[in-house]
Amino acid sequence: MTTRAEHVPVLPREVCRAVLPALAIGAGAVPPLLVDATCGLAGHLCLLLEGAPQARAIAFDRDEDARVLAKARLADAGLADRVTWVHAPFSELAQHLDRLGITEVAAILADLGISSLQIDRGERGFSWRADAPLDMRMDRTRGASAAEIVATIDEGTLTRILRDLGEEPDARRIAQAIVAARPSTTLALADVVANAMSAPQRRKLGLRIHPATRTFQALRLHVNDELGEIDRLLADAPDRLAVGGRLCIISFHSLEDRRVKQRFAGLSRPPAMPAGLPLRSDELPRPKFALPGEFAKGVAPSDDEVADNPRARSARLRVLERLER
């Protein structure tokens, strides 16, 4: 049985402005193909398929629960027969496109991170708001859960994870306390962190931010290798764009956004040439990619959107367009 769940898509108008032009020109493919690398509950996908009636989509998600709900939502909207499903991480984009016989696509969208569904379903173990086994895997069919990692990890490695992925100033104290207690549930972990945190750090966070916020973020990023996933997507996706095609990525914190920004900037810069070559400016090699004007600096949500959907607060959309092969 499926239940309908809500996930309000972030930056909906901006995503449509970024993706639909690439689907409209077809970017060489008939019918134009969209890869939704993070289908989630299909909020963006519904908008995009409705906005591009001629397009088809390949929908990736590594979370089986999301896929079941997204299918139901697309079926309700009469869009399900335009979608091919791939239950896999987007780091496997290239191998699945090869398997499907697809060399290039008009657009690729990745809306990073977790969905409201994953946070709201307490049993998934992503949040201290419900007591549950500490799981945190987006794909519960693969890899080690957070509880399994916490049960065996050494203090030095955990300190680095909390510092690098959570930007946690009290990383060492918290890692010491976690390794001493080895909590296996969300509430037990939240308690260990709250008790271990130094008084100045607790005061800095104030009453609105839970002391375990950064620890939960760091563990979640580690359990799902989220930064490694982004690096592999950034390595493979640009090459899969047809001419005129666009890669659109929404990130939610600086660790993600920095990677996207640097890779897009690198690809859209002209290739470096040895100094002193006798070439006119129109003879210099042109970059194969560009950052379309409206999106050149990345786009953040409006104040109105953040007021309606606080989850959008830290979202940033960046877009890369293929100019030539």
Distances (CA, A) of 147 to 42, 175, 179, 218, 228: 30, 14, 12, 14, 21
- Residue selected from 69, 106, 115, 255 as contacting ligand SAM according to rule CB under 6 A: 115
Site membership for ligand SAM, residue 305 (CB under 6 A)? no
- Residue selected from 5, 19, 52, 63 as contacting ligand SAM according to rule CB under 6 A: 63
Q: Which CB atom, from 25 or from 227, has the smaller least distance to ligand SAM?
A: 227
Q: Which CB atom, from 16 or from 66, has the smaller least distance to ligand SAM?
A: 66
C-alpha to C-alpha distance for 45 and 34, rounded to whole angstroms: 9
C-alpha to C-alpha distance for 35 and 33, rounded to whole angstroms: 7
Site membership for ligand SAM, residue 66 (CB under 6 A)? yes
Name residues whose C-beta falls within 8 Å of residue 317's C-beta, 6 or more positions apart in sequence.
11, 14, 15, 18, 248, 249, 250, 295, 298, 299, 300
- Residue selected from 29, 32, 58, 61 as contacting ligand SAM according to rule CB under 6 A: 61
Site membership for ligand SAM, residue 48 (CB under 6 A)? no
C-alpha to C-alpha distance for 154 and 205, rounded to whole angstroms: 27
Is 19 in contact with 48 (CB distance < 8 Å)?
yes
**Residue 1 in 3-state DSSP?**
coil
Size of the site for ligand SAM (CB under 6 A): 21
Site membership for ligand SAM, residue 34 (CB under 6 A)? no
- Return the closest-CA partner of residue 263 out of 285, 231, 286: 231
Q: Which CB atom, from 56 or from 124, has the smaller least distance to ligand SAM?
A: 124
> Pattern 129-148, binding to ligand SAM, x per CB under 6 A?
---------x----------
Site membership for ligand SAM, residue 40 (CB under 6 A)? yes
Is 32 in contact with 106 (CB distance < 8 Å)?
yes
CB of 38 to ligand SAM, least distance (A): 3
The binding site for ligand SAM (CB under 6 A) comprises: 7, 9, 38, 40-44, 60-63, 66, 89-90, 111, 113-115, 138, 229
